Structure 1
Amino acid sequence: MPLTPRRPRSRRLRAVLLAAAAASVVAAALPAPVPLGIGDPLFPHLGNPGYDVLAYDIGLTYPGVNTKPMEAVTTIDAVATDDLEHINLDFARGTVHGVDVNGQAAQFASADEDLVITPQDPVHTGESLRITVRHTSDPNAARDGGWVRTTDGLVMANQADAAHRVFPCNDHPSDKAYFTFHVSAPADVTVVANGLPIGRERRGGRIVSSYHSSHPMATELAQVSIGHSAVLHREGPHGLPIRDVVPAADQAKLEPWLKKTPDQIAWMERRVGRYPFETYGVLIAGADTGFELETQTLTLFERSLFVRPQFPEWYVDSIMVHELTHHWFGDSVSPRAWSDVWLNEGHATWYEALYAEEFGKQPMERRMRNAYALSDSWRAAGGPPAAPRAAGPGQKIGIFRPIVYDGSALVLYALREEIGTRAFERLERRWVRDHRDSTATTADFSALASRIAGRDLSGFFKAWLYGEKTPPMPGHADWHSRTPVHAPPAPRH
């Protein structure tokens, strides 16, 4: 008997098979997930449109050594600002195990350094979002920033665009949010993070340490320190709690530096107003990063800064003040775009130089005259202060050139010469007061300066912030530009 084709056993089965075939054709026709960005001039693929993050809750499980990936859970509370069929997060250097959106499992795929999530139901403008990502956080992939291995553990260095190498996020300073960290570690390991402790729970041979920031924070300022550290407590102005995190063996050696912090905070408060956060502290790490970093409420410093004899005391003091200043300029008032970074670094360098003048006998005018002499060459190499050139491939911190440090402090010096010391000091106080816990732009600074000066300063700022050549210095017609003879200093951040 000849064989005949088998037919589907029922009309229902035939319909299921046809639907499956159609679905496979549709799936094949769907476009591949694509990375997005908010169009930042320096990092065009950083950040994501369509939602506003309100809070991050990040859980990390540290295995006891800093060479193994950590299991992690990141929960993001956000609100949709547009209708979304897909939700993009910045995330790289980790493995994603699963994603939920509002309690329902969601599909996900990677596209370059984005995690592209497809929820079961489209999200509409104004709707609340809770995104939970189960993933790994890998300290072995820190070549572009993120986790930094120390001699006894880990710290974070996320500036400028490396937080998404640690946890999924909207990795741009324009989208600040509240942070909570829960870190499980062996009982002999010390964990400290941004903000204040909110819990410490023993689970067998491990302890879960929890911290919460009570002010919104940019992702680049997140910090978790994991290691065999001593935590030292002292009191700052107005009863401000200060906690320093240092290698336990170096506690006595570092104390002469650490005890200076309360007076440094008081010095800054006399110039720009009250310290803007709930706590402060110095985190000294056994790592060679090449920079110091103003992570919010817990500033990261290299151990070598404090123990190398070639660094004079006034220099180390002024670098400590540089990073402290960022808590007003950069942390509390964050840049709306990375091209506004001159507002961070110019101000931090300005107060660093003022402190060095007052306590180290290093004249501000001499430093600014030297900066003026080099300013044209800095602009040629890296662009003007408010329009810096993008960093080259593989140089994530390449935007931190001399033009955004002394070159930008020079702009502030010119502004003080232009409008007078009293108006300049009012501007500084108003700037950090009006934009506290928020973001601001170069245009905002120019507009506020014009209001306080009582005249239009847009021409002044256009020339000083965007010109290829450095304008004449008000009140110093004898200052001239020249070719640099020294290598630029290492970035402070």
Structure 2
Amino acid sequence: MLLSARLKAALLATASLTLLGAAPPPQPLGIGDPLFPHLGNPGYDVTAYDISLAYSGDNTAPLDAVTIIDARSTARLERINLDFAHGEASSVTVDGAPARFAPAGEDLVVTPAAPVPAGSPLRITVRHTSDPADPADGQGGWVRTRDGLAMANQADAAHRVFPCNDHPADKAAFTFRVTTPKRLTAVAAGLPAGKPVTRGAATTWTYRTAHPMATELAQVGIGDLTVVRREGPGGLPLRDVVPTADRKALEPWLSRTPGHLAWLQDRLGPYPFETYGLLVADAETGFALETQTLSLFEKNLFTHGGADRTGTESIMVHELAHQWFGDSVSPAAWSDLWISEAHATWYEALWAEEHGGPALEERMRRAHRDSDGWRAAGGPPARPKAPEPGEKISLFRPVVYDGSALVLYALRQEIGEAAFGRLQREWVREHRDANASTADFVTLASRTAGRDLSAFFQGWLYGERTPAVPGHPDWRSEAP
């Protein structure tokens, strides 16, 4: 093995510090995700987050916050790396004892008073700020609304809001405690844990999830909001959260969610969580987001004069389908994102076709025509190119949406509609509340079809050029 001059110098510096009795400087770590190599941290698994946020009423000012992380070590830890950026930590304790801490890149590196043995439970408490400044820098985290805040943490921005192990592979339970001026309302993922408590001029709202959640799916909304409750299929509690001034205008859209749920449950089985609803933000985001149990939408989607009923509802179905694909069954690595977006796009397109929109087959024919260009620009579905520097949202390219839904269309053509339907239901049943990979999907699809589909998926998921679609020899892909 040959060592570069830079690596030799680093090793010599580390050796010198060790000889002098000093630890090497803190370094950012990661779990080696192909697209986000510094995301997540090795050595521990988080079991629960308890996040307290104090909002002053000024959505440009940092929030005072306390994040408590319950975890179990998977290795001996002399240091504990947390993903955290865009805020300031003021103190850290590990199992109640003060710990040293220092920033390193987008990590907060914690040195406990004594090393943590492997296999030990541990509690990390971080007092910090959570800064909503610069929400338009393209990196995500807090979104400033007209009179408050909401969260948009996908793909890797939860650590811009609270310290965490910011990778979907480490799902955990969440409790949110949000204190606001009493004239405002706070909501979060999950269900209320008791009634709001008002002391003086402030009210504290507490919410708790009943199922594990990836950090990128966390949601907290604050503002002059109204919570609208109704019942969904099977008595499922639904709650939509909307700007109070727009409550009446939004009702025609909100009232359609029970029908969307019934339609998806007919195809996928029971809804996987304890509640669902829409958080409608008075902000210009340019996207909708499947935050768990409370999907985020911008108000203009519903209120602008040209709102198309079928098109708008298909977007609502897309985010709802994500509660199964992406939220309940989360990607094992970010290169597995195609599974989540392919299925959400699939059910969006299928719903639109059944409700007066474009035909699914025509949409897939166009996707096949454009697919080679999408692959050249963004990589094949299961081997996407990394996002552009400073533009994490550029990960969400056309190849991830219609380009990946085309994979499902080809698969249905290959194995038949009945086997395809069984695969969808079995996928969300077998991997509920867990993570699953592309290899897991190939394995289950092969088992469902009764034959090895590895060669089929190799071309469709990893090929630079798009294969021919079974049953459509006349379809042509246009080379870029």
Asked if these proteins are the same fold (TM beyond 0.5), I'd say yes
Other-structure match for 1:58: 51
Aligned-partner Cα distance in 2 for 1:317–1:161: 27
Aligned-partner Cα distance in 2 for 1:182–1:26: 45
Other-structure match for 2:212: 216
Other-structure match for 1:102: 95
Other-structure match for 2:108: 115
Counterpart mapping for 1:454-465 below 5 A: 454-465=450-461
The more displaced of 397-406 and 194-203 is 194-203
Deviations 1:37-84, CA, capped at 9 Å, x for gaps: 000000000000000000000000001110110100000000000111
Counterpart mapping for 1:184-333 below 5 A: 184-199=179-194, 200-333=196-329
AA at the equivalent of 1:93: H
AA at the equivalent of 2:161: V
Aligned-partner Cα distance in 2 for 1:470–1:310: 35
Q: How far 1:311 sits from its partner (Å)?
A: 3.4
Q: Does 1:443 align with 2:439?
A: yes
Other-structure match for 2:155: 160
Other-structure match for 2:347: 351
Q: Secondary structure at the match of 1:41?
A: coil
Q: How far 1:24 sits from its partner (Å)?
A: 12
Deviations 1:429-484, CA, capped at 9 Å, x for gaps: 00000000000000000000000100000001111000000001000000001268
Q: How far 1:360 sits from its partner (Å)?
A: 2.2
Aligned-partner Cα distance in 2 for 1:24–1:292: 50
Provide the TM-score with structure 1 as the length reference. Answer: 0.92
Provide the TM-score with structure 2 as the length reference. Answer: 0.95
Deviations 1:409-445, CA, capped at 9 Å, x for gaps: 0000000000000000000000000000000000000
* C-alpha contact (below 8 Å) 2:172/2:212 kept by paired residues: yes
Q: Secondary structure at the match of 1:262?
A: helix
Aligned-partner Cα distance in 1 for 2:63–2:357: 48
Counterpart mapping for 1:175-186 below 5 A: 175-186=170-181
Q: How far 1:370 sits from its partner (Å)?
A: 0.4
Q: How far 1:25 sits from its partner (Å)?
A: 8.9
* C-alpha contact (below 8 Å) 2:59/2:144 kept by paired residues: yes
Q: Where does the alignment leave 5 or more consecutive residues of structure 1 unmatched?
A: 1-22, 485-493
Q: Secondary structure at the match of 1:139?
A: coil
Distance 1:475 1:24, change over 3 A: closer
Deviations 1:115-172, CA, capped at 9 Å, x for gaps: 0000011011110010000000000143211000000100000000000000000000
Which of 104, 120, 130 is the aligned partner of 1:127? 120
* C-alpha contact (below 8 Å) 2:18/2:24 kept by paired residues: no
Aligned-partner Cα distance in 1 for 2:307–2:161: 33
Q: Secondary structure at the match of 1:255?
A: helix
Other-structure match for 1:44: 37
Aligned residues: 461
The root-mean-square deviation of aligned C-alpha atoms, in Å, is: 1.2
* C-alpha contact (below 8 Å) 1:79/1:126 kept by paired residues: yes
Q: How far 1:347 sits from its partner (Å)?
A: 0.3
AA at the equivalent of 2:288: E
Other-structure match for 1:10: none
Deviations 1:385-432, CA, capped at 9 Å, x for gaps: 000000111101111000000000000000000000000000000000
Q: Secondary structure at the match of 1:140?
A: coil
AA at the equivalent of 1:74: T
* C-alpha contact (below 8 Å) 1:93/1:141 kept by paired residues: no
Aligned-partner Cα distance in 2 for 1:322–1:255: 19
Q: How far 1:378 sits from its partner (Å)?
A: 0.3
Q: How far 1:30 sits from its partner (Å)?
A: 2.8
Other-structure match for 2:475: 479
Q: Does 1:341 align with 2:337?
A: yes
Q: Does 1:151 align with 2:146?
A: yes
Aligned-partner Cα distance in 1 for 2:361–2:412: 12
Other-structure match for 1:14: none
Q: Which runs of 4+ in 1 moved over 3 A?
A: 23-27
Other-structure match for 2:166: 171
Aligned-partner Cα distance in 2 for 1:278–1:105: 37
Aligned-partner Cα distance in 2 for 1:397–1:124: 38
Other-structure match for 1:428: 424
Aligned-partner Cα distance in 2 for 1:61–1:99: 18
Other-structure match for 1:86: 79
* C-alpha contact (below 8 Å) 2:95/2:124 kept by paired residues: yes
Q: Secondary structure at the match of 1:346?
A: helix
Q: Secondary structure at the match of 1:42?
A: coil
Identity of paired residues, percent? 65
Q: Secondary structure at the match of 1:37?
A: coil
Aligned-partner Cα distance in 2 for 1:474–1:403: 19
